[in-house]
Amino acid sequence: MASADHPARVYVGLASPLREILFESRTWDRLQMLAEVDVMPDGADALPAGLCRDYDVLVTGWGTSLLEGLDADRLGLVVHTAGSWRSVITDEVLAGDVVVSQAGSDPMARAVAEFALTMTLTILRHVHTYDRSMQDTRDYIASRQPEYGDSIDALRHGLVGLSRVGVWHAKMLRGLGCDDIVAYDPYFPEEHASEVGVRLVGLEEAMASDVVALHAPVTPETMGLVGRSELDLMPDGGVLINTARAAIVDGAALEDELVSGRIRAGLDVFDEEPLPPSSPLYGLPNVLLAPHVAGATTQARFGQGKAAVDEIERFLRREPLRFVIDPASASRLS
């Protein structure tokens, strides 16, 4: 740990331009006031050999090499700036003496929830349909079909997973007047459900909602969680939103449903990314597609950097950390 004789040292294992995307100048300046900061050289693909001996904190994110094992010689904290951490942090690291914080996940969660809500509103009010028709035909009158959409607060919303994203999504729905929100999450505490504004139910009841949004992490337990039988539970014209991970859903079953036109969907994630040009999802009038960008806002990216620096400051001041990954529950996280 840092002391008066040994100032804190932080190694930022992120190359340019990602550093500039995550850390706006005032956040970077604050980090440099807290500690001596070294950065990964452009073009480097490995962390320094003396990392555990020479630094107190390691900052990781997209592109950081896998941490096979860390000795807590001097290193005390790993702060991960991205959402998913399994490509960087191993179970061995989590079980060791170095604390791991997923600080970047909360700002991203809000942005992802916002995008899920945006997709929902776009589909319910046929925004993408009107736009496509007007752009393609330039026919103002003919483009006003379908004439009516649905009000978001008139429908039942089912959330599959009350992750940080799921909780944010529920709060946003409540803010728009939605009071019929159910959620499936076997690990979410019952006593906190009313605080979020949801009613906990089984997977089958959640899938029978008018709008179903997937917010579960990818774990062995959730792979293929939503299969053909679960999709069958959705009402005709129901809306499925997936800004989480494609592996949660049986991709073939979902394609069949969407090609048939029975349900609608907003999809930001796919079994194969980039989505191949041959995918049958292209051109479907009942499908809204996005190229895995749900968490990508300028403010969310800067928020990830700020959250990391906030966590580092708490660590150096020996204050309680906010985003520590608990090894006991890590198997339920992505």
The set of catalytic residues is 245, 273, 292
Q: Closest Cα partner for 267 from 115, 84, 154, 61? A: 115
Q: How far apart are CA 319 and CA 314, in angstroms?
A: 5
Beta bridge partners of 267: 242, 289
Amino acid identity of residue 229, one-letter, is S
> Of 303, 232, 249, 308, nearest to 11 (Cα)?
308
Neighbours of 39 (CB within 10 A): 16
Sign of the alpha-carbon torsion through 205, 210, 213, 214: positive
Specify whether the CB–CB gap between 159 and 181 falls below 8 A.
yes
Using CA atoms, how far apart are residues 35 and 7, in angstroms rounded to an integer?
A: 7
For residue 297, the one-letter residue type is T
Q: Describe the crossing of helices 105-124 and 298-316 by its angle, rounded to 10 degrees.
A: 160
List 99's β-bridge partners, or say none.
77
Amino acid, single-letter form, for residue 44: A
Q: How far apart are CA 303 and CA 213, in angstroms?
A: 24
If one counts every other C-beta atom within 10 angstroms of the C-beta of residue 99, the result is 18
Return the closest-CA partner of residue 89 out of 110, 115, 60, 116. 60
